[in-house]
Amino acid sequence: MNLVGISINHKTSPLDLREALHLNHDEIVTLIPRLKNSLFSEGVVISTCNRTEIFGFPQNQELDLSSIIDELIRFKPVNEIKQEHFLKFFSCGAVRHLFSVASGIDSMIIGDSQILGQVKEAFEISEDLDFAGAALRRIFDTAIKTGKRAIKETTISEGAVTVSYAAVQVVEKIFSSLDKKSALVIGAGETGELAAVHLRDKGIGKIAIANRTIERAEKLAKKIHGEIVPFQFYKEHLHNFDIVISATSSNNIIVSYDDIKSAVKKRKNTPLILMDIAVPRDIDPDVKKIDNVFYHDMDSLKIIVDQNLQKRKDQIPLVQKIIMEEMIGFFGWFNTLDVVPTIKTMRLFFEEIRNDELEKIKNKVSDEDFIKIEDMTRRMIGRILHNPTVKLREFAETGANIKEVAANTMILKDLFNLGSIPSNGKGINEDKNNPEGTNEKK
């Protein structure tokens, strides 16, 4: 297995460098022909907000991985980048890394399930550009299978690990169903947008956006199929919503105790949920003293996030076990790539000897006896080769050390001189003066 790769990610470099080396779809499509032309026979490029990685099978077995980094930097120049900002992977390490990425345990947010789709999309680009062969396809099929197993068989992706999602999950616990509820999101920045998207995905009945910049509010409202509440009038509309999530960048309180007191009165004391996910806070924390008001801020939500993160971390050993199982299965398959043709050549070798010896006695026995001898020798060769065939295949399929598998196949080839024999069997034992099929000259 000569798969190699490089990676710059959240563990190796600051955000500004990762952003500078991020590749969009069109850039990946442009880069791949350059990699194909000079470095790899097949490969894949993965680029997300937290990582850019290139993996492939080198055209030259002596390939220096630094040349992959150099090619990437030539394609997308970044002056501050250094070789130390990259991790380098070889063989089993490369496969293990890809499986770890796909399963979410190598993500900045442990258990991030979005990376699985991004890995799949990256491979599809390589396939479309004829940059993926059978071995790479098998690697990524297994990587995707590993990611799916991690999600299905563990809780690595469960529980909110961002305050935006934690806020929505708390809302879900208070209201058993959101399809008849309404929400107002104040602030259309990254945090507010995430909260709005999560609410939409949870099937909120009605959602509205209030933001100082109307253009940004309109953009987010269009994305989530929501409405707009003019920022200067949002206080007058608080009573119309069951849920208020505030995530602005204001330096001061923008929702006061009296604002909420008035809103609750207009709602005739029906429950009102307030999620303040801004730093500093947008909502006066004293509102939690008001009856029928459920209030959470960053401190209380962060406790939930930290608890969920720890639960995810506790699942890492289980995911690593899945990764190891899938690696054993993959390398079992990979090891047989050399074993299968060796077995085939060995069988052809013995079959040619059988046919040669049968030809010598064909005219010396009756047709009836010849049929019996032919059948007997076929069964005899089958029995002779049965155990070595089964054992060699089992040895490969158990995922044994690649060097050991290679050593065993090499011994077999040397014992019967199979290395110089074509896989079609032609040329086997053609030296009629050497009936034993050896290389010794008489």
| Residue pointed to by tokens 């069997």 | 425
Enter the tokens of residue 284: 């006066």
User: What is the rounded distance in angstroms from the CA atom of residue 220 to the CA atom of residue 213?
Assistant: 11
Show Cβ contacts of residue 179 under 8 Å, excluding neighbours closer than 6 positions: 203, 204, 205
Q: DSSP alpha helices (H): ranges in 267-424?
A: 298-314, 316-361, 367-397, 402-416
Cβ-contact 159, 106 below 8 angstroms: no
- CA dist 258 and 264 (Å) reads 10
CA–CA dist 38, 70 (Å, integer): 12
Encoding tokens for residue 256?
Answer: 């006061």
Q: Which helix (H) or strand (E) holds 90?
A: strand 87-90
**Three-class DSSP category at 434:** coil
Closest CA to 296 of 337, 246, 359, 261: 246
Among 278, 225, 216, CA closest to 247: 278
Give the tokens for residue 436: 């034993």
For the stretch 265-303, what's the b/e string if a residue is b when 16 or more beta carbons lie within 10 angstroms of its beta carbon?
A: eebeeeebbbbbbbeebbbbeebbebeebbbbbbebbee
At residue 161, the 3 state secondary structure works out as coil
Residue with tokens 């019996």: 372
As annotated, the active-site residues are 49
Question: For the chain, what is the largest distance between any 2 Cα atoms, rounded to a whole number of angstroms?
Answer: 114
Task: Find tokens 């046919």 and name the residue.
Answer: 355
CB 208 within 8 A of CB 244: no
Alpha carbon distance, N-terminus to C-terminus of the chain: 42
How many other CB atoms sit within 10 Å of the CB of residue 408?
Answer: 20
